[in-house]
Amino acid sequence: MTASPLPEAVRAHPRLGQWLGVGPDGCVVATSGKVDIGQGISHALRLIVAAELGLPPQCITMRPASTACSPDEAVTSGSLSVQQSGLALRLAAAHLREACRSAMARRRACGVGDVQMLDGVFRVRATDQVATYAQLVDTALLAGTIDPVHLSTGVPTPGGVEAPRPDVAAKVFGEFRFIHDLRWPDMVFGQVFRPPMLPATVDEDRLDRLLPALSGLHDVVQVLRDGLLVGVLARSEHALGLAARCVQRHEADGPLWTSASALPDFDAWQDWLKHQRLETTVVLERRATDAPADANATRRLRADYGRPYLQHASIGLCCAIARWQPQADALEVWTHSQGIFNLRRDLALAFAVAADDVCVSHVEGAGCYGHNGADDVAFDAAWLARAARGRPVRVQWTREAELGHAPLGPAMTVAVEAEVDGDGLLRSWTQDVWSQGHGTRPGRGTTPSLLGAWQTADPFPVPMAVNAAMSAGGGSERNAVPPYAVPAVTVRNHRILSMPVRVSALRALGAHANVFAAESMMDELASQRAMGPLAFRLAQLQGPEHARAAAVLLQVAQMADWVDEDAPPVGEGQGLGIAYARYKNTGAYCAVVVRLRVEERVRLEQIWIAADLGLVVHADGARNQLEGGAIQAASWTIFEQARVDAHGVASNSWDRYPILRFSEVPPVQVALIAQPDSPSLGAGECTAGPTAAAIANAIAQATGLRMRTMPFTPDNLMRQALA
């Protein structure tokens, strides 16, 4: 038997008791460092542990993640939870099972091979001697070091299990307690007022008049000032509303805060990106080893594609609760952050306390899928709580703050140049990407990456946005390398070394724009060669190394009744579009077909998705993730664009930042291609790029308009039609 490699989190936290234990009710308690942000990961992990231990899922209790008790598994992002935490918990569960088998053998003075385990009960063969996990687990057993050799291929895995999630009914009927629903005794409510742009200066005279006006409001407990920040503590949320209106009245004659530097013209964001100071890296350069048989038949095509700045636009607002223990100068925070350990580190830096004196616990909130304001609102709560003398402080951002202060998803422009030979095969591919970095998350720099920490009287420096290493999937260059067989490939990433507005990670990072660009180009090349879009893609995916890619394309085509002969229009103003990508070029294989109608605007009629996720732990959860990713990407692609002016982010309301409405969501059909013998691959982000490209390709088929810049609003469609 070959031992499985230990995940990094298990190497850092090798003690069995850090992952598993037994509760007072006899249920096995599982602990993960990954958090549930609505994607149902806690249930998938529950199924993995249950299958490995031979127990029903209801016998596994998932403990909410907290820095006080959970292993540090960094940030819940990148569609990696099942791959990373799932493997870690499976190794831990296998070790627990075999350690209990050995304990049973010692107790009954028999060989380990004489102990059978069935349905969570250990039995000595041919006897009535039995014991459960609760009877066998003790402190010494949990102190053991996880040994991967216990993971046997003979143990059943939870592939495709359809056990229902225990949280769904409570959420549907409004019984689930999100972080917004928590109330502590003696709790006070807080709000922080801050400049709408970064960096900024404050009008001291106006502020001097504002502070006493705020202090005089009914139910206001305390007003704080620290640099650019003004904080209000109150006995009720109603009082915070009065405070907000008071600030608005004082700004009626002029702003309290003004920008400390001129902002560029963000309506011309594509030109702006290409004229900044750059850091250029070569992601891949591969030269062809042979020349095309008929060089004269080779055709070249070049085009530029773009994505504007985007906002997270979570329907649920960011919220946090914090409490300081004055005697110990210790901080407790309850948050829906995606990275509780990273947040703990930066809070400790910001408030000059030891990390061990900060406890950050996760409580479910609104899903955001990227670096939104959850960490920043936690800073706000902690900053206010320090003045609250031990009372818990609850802070919930307003809609204006949510849209105006959270990091933006970076704008991107992508240039693709490709050559196709006379046989319809790709000969060369060059992709250049211009974008700011896609990461300013907390916990990754020498100073805190928290908005409030940059705005105090003694501010920390604002870090420049950076990209993850390509070994982790990259940032703006994510999925910039084509997934097809191409003899010559050059991919360059041009990182913008300027950040007039704050940017950071948004779901799928650069994959949304890069796949949109590449798969739009694939359709344009197919049209140039008079080949069908499906046939052209399949021609570049020959051989066993591309079999899984070809399989998802064929599957989605079958689902959509795709006809590839010259790809004629489906109907008047109606079109079908297809697109494919392998997320990060190492993750899930995904193909998408979109049917839409172009009238006064783009109306989605149907989305089909085929995905190969390797071993699927929870099929319903996987389908939900694929569907949700496609719907969010459709909203970005058709509707969304952040607007920035001299006063900051102007798209700070639903009127100014429309998203796809529930009534506009089309039917979505998902097919999972079973690969039970392959490692699990994440589902949450792989549909983003293919959905965007499939929409663009469907518009081209329906109207003849090749949309190369998102979003595909009526105004942009008209501009393209008149161009």
pLDDT digits (tens, 9 = 90+) for 225-261: 999 999 999 999 999 999 999 999 999 988 999 988 8
CA 332 to chain centroid: 25
Are the CB atoms for 124 and 114 separated by under 8 Å? yes
C-alpha dihedral over 465, 466, 467, 472, to 10 degrees?
A: -120
pLDDT digits (tens, 9 = 90+) for 297-321: 789 999 999 999 999 999 999 999 9
pTM of the model: 0.94
Residue 426, φ and ψ in degrees, nearest 5: -65, 135
pLDDT digits (tens, 9 = 90+) for 148-182: 887 754 444 555 456 788 888 998 899 999 999 99
Confidence at residue 570, expressed as pLDDT on a 0 to 100 scale: 67
Which residues neighbour 431 within 8 Å (Cβ) at sequence distance 6 or greater? 414, 415, 416, 480, 481, 482, 490, 491, 492, 514, 517, 518
Residues present in the chain in total = 723
Integer Cα distance of 64 and 66 in angstroms: 6
C-alpha dihedral over 688, 693, 696, 702, to 10 degrees?
A: -110
Per-residue burial over 231-268, b if 16 or more Cβ lie within 10 Å, else e, is bbbbeeeebbebbbebbeebeeeebbbebeeeebebee
pLDDT band (50, 70, 90) for residue 295: low
Confidence at residue 153, expressed as pLDDT on a 0 to 100 scale: 47
pLDDT at 265 over 70: yes
Identity at 175, one-letter amino acid code: E
The two tokens of residue 54 are: 């031979």
> Across residues 504-518, what is the average pLDDT?
97
How high is the mean pLDDT of the chain? 93
pLDDT at 88 over 70: yes
Confidence at residue 154, expressed as pLDDT on a 0 to 100 scale: 43
pLDDT at 322 over 80: yes
Identity at 71, one-letter amino acid code: P
pLDDT band (50, 70, 90) for residue 39: confident
* Percentage of residues of the chain with pLDDT beyond 70: 96
pLDDT band (50, 70, 90) for residue 83: confident
> Could you give the C-alpha distances from 296 to 156, 293, 420, 524, 528, in angstroms and in order?
57, 9, 11, 20, 15
